[in-house]
Amino acid sequence: MPHLRLLLFVFFLLVVAFVALADTPSQTTPYWAFCINPVTPTPAKPDDNPRRVPNSSAVFTTAQTQDLFNPPDWHPPDHPPMPEIVVHGRKPDVYACGYCHLPNGMGRPENSSLAGLSADYIIHQMTDFRSGARKSSEPRHLPVANMISRETKATNQEIAAAAEYFSKLERKIWIRIVETSTVPKTHVAGWMLVADTPAATEPIGQRIIEMPEDLERTELRDDASGFVAYVPEGSLKRGKWLVTGGGDGKMSPCAKCHGPGLRGSGNVPPIAGRSPSYIVRQLFDMKSGARSGALSLQMRRQVVKLSIDDMIAIAAFVSSLKP
């Protein structure tokens, strides 16, 4: 019965194809929120020239500013003393928390601000990263991969010390939100968007373009130099409608759980004034199921109906609020 066998085989192929398609995420990750560094042949060796930044008497070489176990602290008077795990990490596995999240905890678009999150919430997220309940929809995103594979090797005591430290830091205005139709042309470098040289412009389209206010200071990891995020025209108004009104029943108004002004309430984290790239990443990850810890299931119901355009509007508005 060769025909029957052939028929069965074709049927089998169809089933395999169907399962594969059903497994494929319906939307690909927006590149501007999940920035992936291009593969460079060999990165340039950092030089030994002394470097300075405004309003600091500190001097570091470029190489020192890139030390994952001893990141530069340009403004020690601006924050309390850092616990060992934040300032040095623990060799060989755990990088200093302050390298990526910065000594003042304000973070960068490719990671997250931790300043002023509750210590319980921080510990809870570390548990989710460790158990695999919190992943990224984009496995090639090295900063998140490092957060998961290295930082969760910190002991519970070290995590408690880091959580205590970051929870005490002040949340401040760190990202300037600008509605516009035209943006600087950018490319990905250092896991974030940076302006092309020579400078050029292009239409924003449906994207958020978050980039350093001053690339040189950001590259030196100066935690007194923040970011600007360009958002499409009309996003703030549409975002406000979605966030405060629930967008005609698409979801609940966010303040119901995130508190007045979205500044957090109990274990529900503050989201006002935080990075719009980070916010889009989280909404996307919660929708895709990559972030699926027990507490995030409350968010699942909020994000199921959201399109990328909705997420852009929501993130633009939330980031523009006073932290």
In angstroms and rounded to an integer, the radius of gyration of the C-alpha atoms of the chain is 21
Does residue 143 interact with ligand HEC by CB under 6 A?
A: yes
Does residue 169 interact with ligand HEC by CB under 6 A?
A: no
Determine the size of the site formed for ligand HEC (CB under 6 A). 48
CA–CA gap between residue 137 and residue 17 (Å, rounded): 22
CA–CA gap between residue 195 and residue 199 (Å, rounded): 7
Q: Which residue has the tokens 């616990």?
A: 83
CA–CA gap between residue 311 and residue 297 (Å, rounded): 18
Report which of 211, 187, 195, 220 is spatially closest to residue 99, judged by C-alpha positions: 220
* Cβ proximity to ligand HEC, 170 vs 202, nearer residue: 170
Residue type, 166: F
Does residue 193 interact with ligand HEC by CB under 6 A?
A: no
CA–CA gap between residue 321 and residue 163 (Å, rounded): 24
Report which of 111, 139, 134 is spatially closest to residue 124, judged by C-alpha positions: 134
Q: How far is the CB of 218 from ligand HEC (least distance, A)?
A: 15
Does residue 161 interact with ligand HEC by CB under 6 A?
A: no
Q: Which stretch binds ligand HEC (CB under 6 A): 3-11, 96-104, 175-183, 193-201?
A: 96-104
Does residue 317 interact with ligand HEC by CB under 6 A?
A: no
Burial letters 217-227, b for 16+ CB under 10 A, else e: bbbbbbbbbbb
- Sign, CA torsion 165/170/176/177: positive
* Cβ proximity to ligand HEC, 183 vs 272, nearer residue: 272
Q: Build a one-symbol-per-residue string for 229-268: x at contacts with ligand HEC by CB under 6 A, - elsewhere.
A: --------------x-------xx-x-xxx---------x
Q: Which stretch binds ligand HEC (CB under 6 A): 4-12, 123-131, 179-187, 219-227?
A: 123-131
Q: How far is the CB of 209 from ligand HEC (least distance, A)?
A: 18
* Cβ proximity to ligand HEC, 101 vs 238, nearer residue: 101
Does residue 146 interact with ligand HEC by CB under 6 A?
A: yes
CB neighbour list of residue 287: distance below 8 Å, 6 or more residues apart: 300, 303, 304, 306
Q: Which two tokens stand for residue 47?
A: 């030089």
Q: How far is the CB of 290 from ligand HEC (least distance, A)?
A: 8
Does residue 272 interact with ligand HEC by CB under 6 A?
A: no
Report which of 138, 182, 130 is spatially closest to residue 156, judged by C-alpha positions: 130
CA–CA gap between residue 139 and residue 34 (Å, rounded): 10
Does residue 137 interact with ligand HEC by CB under 6 A?
A: no
Q: How far is the CB of 21 from ligand HEC (least distance, A)?
A: 26
Does residue 35 interact with ligand HEC by CB under 6 A?
A: no
Q: Which two tokens stand for residue 318?
A: 């939330």
Does residue 171 interact with ligand HEC by CB under 6 A?
A: no
* Residue ranges that bind ligand HEC, judged by CB under 6 A: 85, 94-95, 97, 99-101, 110-112, 114, 117, 122, 124-126, 136, 143-144, 146-147, 151, 154, 159, 162, 243, 251-252, 254, 256-258, 268-269, 271, 278-279, 281-283, 293, 295-296, 298-299, 302, 314, 318
